[in-house]
Chain A
Amino acid sequence: MALLEVHNVTMKFGSLVANDDVSFGVEKGSVVGLIGPNGAGKTTLFNCISGFYRPTSGKLLFKGQDVTNLPAYEMARLGAVRTFQVVHPLKEMTVLDNVLVGAFLRGADTDKAHEIARDCIALCHLEDMSGRMAGGLPIGYKKRLEMARALATGPELLMLDEAMAGLTSTEIKAAVEIIKGLQKRGITLLVVEHIMEAIMSVADKIVVLDGGIKIAEGPPQEVVNDERVITAYLGAKFSQRLKAAQGGDPRE
């Protein structure tokens, strides 16, 4: 049994079908990447899983429990916590206070919460910023704050929505290191990412969405060579050229 099971999830907004019959599983302890071109329905699927939307049809199981209709805060309490693609800092609160909000999920004890918060702040390299107002942080720090805050809730499944979009390559490297650290701590990760390279190095499995439909699922190396994935990302013409080039490569 996987930690998170997505069964035939469909999400419609009126006549627009954002997710069509998507199914996949996230194994405990793994890092799963959810990728796809813009408008593929990644964030919508993410919102369904994290309880911000109720799927039109289909079923979601978390730890074997049916969580299809649970609100977001119940999902978080069960241990499935998300971050936002567009950062949502609690602006008029300090970085420490932001992370404390997450830390209080596992108990009302203030000292304990402070301990957890300091730990998560350190893990995301935010120590120097802990007294600053979250609204005034540079974007890279805001992204890490999102992560630290979610981490403080003590999640079993952490869902990162484009945590690396808009970051510089050094910042991406730092983010990848953090993700690896989280995996070592036994946290399962579901990562939505538009940038494929970043996710390739850390993911155990990749799920690819295009036009709301799952078009591929498998280990990263398999997925990048999947013709439909290449077509989705680069267009049909380029995919053929690429194949021709690969076929003619003497080193293959």
Chain B
Amino acid sequence: MKNRKRSVDFLWLGLLAFLALLPLIPGLLRSSFTQHVAIQILLYASMAQAWNILGGYCGQVSFGHSVFFGIGAYGAGMAVVKYGMIPWPGAFIGAVLAAAVAVVISYPCFKLKGHYFAIATFAIVEIFNRLFMVWYWVGGALGLDYSFTDQGWTHFVWYESKRGYYFGVLLLFLLVFGVVRWIERNRLGFYLRAVREGQETAESLGVNSAKVKLMAMALSAFLAALCGAFFAQYNYRVDPPMVMSLDMSMKFVLITILGGLGTFYGPLLGAALLIPLQEYSRAFLGGIGGGVDLIIFGLLIIIVVVYQPRGIMGIIDGIRVKAKRSKEGGE
């Protein structure tokens, strides 16, 4: 048991070292497009992992995470565009606000069962989307456009090279994955999974399931909002359909499902499969008409849900078990 844990840690640290050194390896990540793909993978992996806290570990499938993502994006955007400040305080305030909004909306929503909960989260996305469209203080349907500022970490904006963004998103990735790694090993992680597997049982063991769900929601929303702030900085703009839409919400869910619900590496694997697929098919298959990436994505989702509900992690586990069996058989 102990040994297994250490080897997993090794994998995690090795992965981080690899990701940190990636831009230094000559030849790799040279083109700005490859850098863009790498940044997108880490961003979407972080988003999916933030969602995974609530949807995967705690089992409360929310389709409303683009709302929190959007609030974070608007936090950074408002700070920069409206107040001419650096984005950092905006991102932080946005994240806190997102967590607060999440708690306020989920408190009644958690009483709803199954599909009723799912539809309520769809409804919330639609409401926020429409309200932000007409809220002129935050730019309405036009959104917020960044003007030129100094480059660098203070303003979290780079124009010539994407390398700054790469390290920025790596920090975000480290934060989100680090938090989940910590949760997994500690009491909260056990409580989250206990609530997922059986709320009544968890309560019989002294777990306040309502509080655990709200904590998962708040944390998940906070981290999703930070991802949103990065997204705004990276795109130099925010508008409602970009950040607060059902399609964006579904990305949180589907990447996690694709990779493996409630697993640590699932969100990364899902993003590592999906994002290159999306970016490269857009770039190279554009000639045969639009939407090819989403056609493939749609197919993948159907196949995964129907044939491998545990996602890529499920496939890897299957191979591992088989390898172990054949090894034992050989001895």
Q: Do chains A and B touch in the complex (CB under 8 A)?
A: yes
Residues of A within 8 A of B (CB): 50, 52, 71-73, 76-77, 81-84, 88-93, 96-97, 100-102, 104-105, 108, 110, 113, 131, 149-150, 153
Q: Which residues of chain A come closer than 8 Å to B190, judged between CB atoms?
A: 97, 100-101, 104
For the complex, would chain B's binding face be called helix, strand, loop or mixed by DSSP majority? helix
Given contacts A90-B194, A104-B191, contact A81 B204 (CB under 8 A): yes
A52 to B200, CA, bound (A): 9
Q: Could you tell me if B187 and A84 are in contact, using CB atoms closer than 8 angstroms?
A: no
Q: Could you tell me if A76 and B205 are in contact, using CB atoms closer than 8 angstroms?
A: yes
Q: Closest approach, in angstroms, between the C-beta of A152 and any C-beta of chain B? A: 8
Q: Flag the segment in B206-214, B220-228, B319-327 that touches A.
A: B206-214
Q: Could you tell me if B204 and A72 are in contact, using CB atoms closer than 8 angstroms?
A: yes
A97 to B205, CA, bound (A): 13
Instruction: Output the nearest chain A residue to B211 by Cβ-Cβ distance.
Output: A73
Instruction: Output the nearest chain A residue to B2 by Cβ-Cβ distance.
Output: A114
Which B177-231 residues sit within 8 Å CB-CB of chain A?
Answer: 185-187, 190-191, 193-194, 196-198, 200-209
Not counting A76-B206, A101-B191, a sample of 8 additional A-B residue pairs whose C-beta atoms are within 8 angstroms of each other reads: A52-B203, A84-B201, A88-B200, A89-B201, A91-B198, A92-B193, A101-B202, A101-B207
Residues of B within 8 A of A (CB): 1, 185-187, 190-191, 193-194, 196-198, 200-209, 262
A173 to B186, CA, bound (A): 36
Instruction: Output the nearest chain B residue to A91 by Cβ-Cβ distance.
Output: B197
Q: Could you tell me if A150 and B204 are in contact, using CB atoms closer than 8 angstroms?
A: yes
A71 to B210, CA, bound (A): 11
A180 to B140, CA, bound (A): 70
A84 to B198, CA, bound (A): 12
Q: Which residues of chain B come closer than 8 Å to A72, judged between CB atoms?
A: 200, 203-204
Number of A-B contacts (CB under 8 A): 81
B205's partner among A71, A89, A92, A105 (CB-CB below 8 A) is A105
Given contacts A52-B200, A131-B1, contact A101 B186 (CB under 8 A): no
Q: Could you tell me if A76 and B1 are in contact, using CB atoms closer than 8 angstroms?
A: no
A90's partner among B1, B193, B206, B262 (CB-CB below 8 A) is B193
Q: Closest approach, in angstroms, between the C-beta of A225 and any C-beta of chain B? A: 35
**What are the 4 closest A-B residue pairs judged by CB atoms, nearest first?**
A76-B206, A90-B197, A105-B206, A88-B201
Q: Which residues of chain B come closer than 8 Å to A97, judged between CB atoms?
A: 190, 193
Q: Which residues of chain B come closer than 8 Å to A102, judged between CB atoms?
A: 205-206
Report which residue of A71, A101, A131 has the largest number of chain B beta carbons within 10 angstroms of its beta carbon. Answer: A101
Q: Could you tell me if B198 and A88 are in contact, using CB atoms closer than 8 angstroms?
A: yes
Q: Which residues of chain A come closer than 8 Å to B262, judged between CB atoms?
A: 92
Q: Which residues of chain B come closer than 8 Å to A113, judged between CB atoms?
A: 187
A105 to B194, CA, bound (A): 13
A24 to B21, CA, bound (A): 70
Q: Could you tell me if B205 and A110 are in contact, using CB atoms closer than 8 angstroms?
A: no
A73 to B204, CA, bound (A): 6
A149's partner among B1, B196, B200, B205 (CB-CB below 8 A) is B205
